[in-house]
Amino acid sequence: MRRAKSLVARSPQMLAPCSFKAIFNPEDDNAAVYDSIVAPAVPLILQGGSCNFFAYGHSGSGKTHTIIGYKFDDDKELGLCLAAARQLFDGLDALNKGARAEEKLGIGLSLFELRKKSAFDLLNARKECHIREGHDGKVHIRGETEMREGGKVRVCPIVKKPCWTYASLRHELTQALGRRTVGLSSIHDQSSRTHAVLELEIVCQSLVDARQVLIDQQSELVPVGKRATDIAIEEQRKGFVVLPSGKWAPNPDYEIDQERIAAAEAEKAECEARVAAAEEALDNILKSSSHQCLGAKMVFVDLAGAEYHHEKGPQLQPLRQQTPQERQEGRQINTDLLALKEVMRAWSGNQQRIPFRSSALTMVLREGFLSSEKGNTTMIVTVSPAKEQYAATLNSLKYGSLVGSAGV
């Protein structure tokens, strides 16, 4: 990292200096930003750590250009995520020499956008997914329930595409980016109206296969578990009658079939055992791998543009009026960003309770924060030199300075 630097705003609205680990000039391209911020983190990933990178700023300040990039064939202007993938593949190529096919390392790519309280899978035709916290305390992003033959119910997690070359990952990413939502912001009419979360995970084929086995076993369990519950309820209902007083009493004409209930419960227990075995096998692959980087992740978050509707003065260009839905989205975006700030404040203060549940955004990022204890988290603040966006720039600097003081 570059040495710490400070900016002092010559404005009565903001007299305190803002401290950052690095400050980039307009002449610096994406390659310069990557070399300073992301490249030093790649060795951490190859050693089994996890790193997170956020881009924060008001609409139109260059967040998407920094994280995603636009000129995918220009090495100087690659987004941070693609530049990181390229460097990771260089490191994985060295580790893969002499490895068996199922143990060769690649990168699992996932990309989804958060809009209001839902996630949309950009690698799966932008299908809507639900964000839920499981009994294990982890946050799960899953698609709609699919009914299959034999009553099997399958709930697929968000798609993670295994990519074994940089070229294949770049192709998948460019295809997915075409499904991202844009709309009118308070600054311009092609603003990203969602938070985009892009994850690069080190995977191997055996890990990919084990995860699929777990999904299949879980789908086997759902109908069997439901049948066991239905049988128990049915037998209990037959075994009791309602008295004229409205109370329930044992039915003298029916004996509850305990053997039928026990058989259904036994079948359910067998399915649960297979799920547990699949979970254990998956865990063993991660623990027994000769590569400590298996399962390590880099997460890049292109936050939707913060909006400041109170700003006065001319805009950069005439815009049509926002629709009520777009204004509502803008308010939700600001709410998410406030929740993220509060999480970082609590995280920096080592508070016992960190409000990850405050928004869908912070719920999704929870695992990234917790796993980054072996890596790092970096916030990149993008600002505009335009005087029309002076107030928005000050607000972005304040937000970024708070994150810097949080040790991020």
Annotated binding residues, as ranges? 57-64
Listed in order, strand segments (DSSP E) in 148-296 are: 153-157, 161-163, 182-183, 191-192, 195-204, 240-242, 248-250
Cβ(83)–Cβ(38) below 8 Å: yes
CA distance 196 to 68: 10
CA within 13 Å, CB half, 22: 17
Cβ(192)–Cβ(302) below 8 Å: yes
**Which residues are known binding-site members for ATP?**
57-64
What DSSP character marks residue 122? T
3-state secondary structure of 389: helix
Cβ(131)–Cβ(139) below 8 Å: yes
CA distance 214 to 210: 6
The torsion angles phi and psi of 141, rounded to 5 degrees, stand at: -110, 110
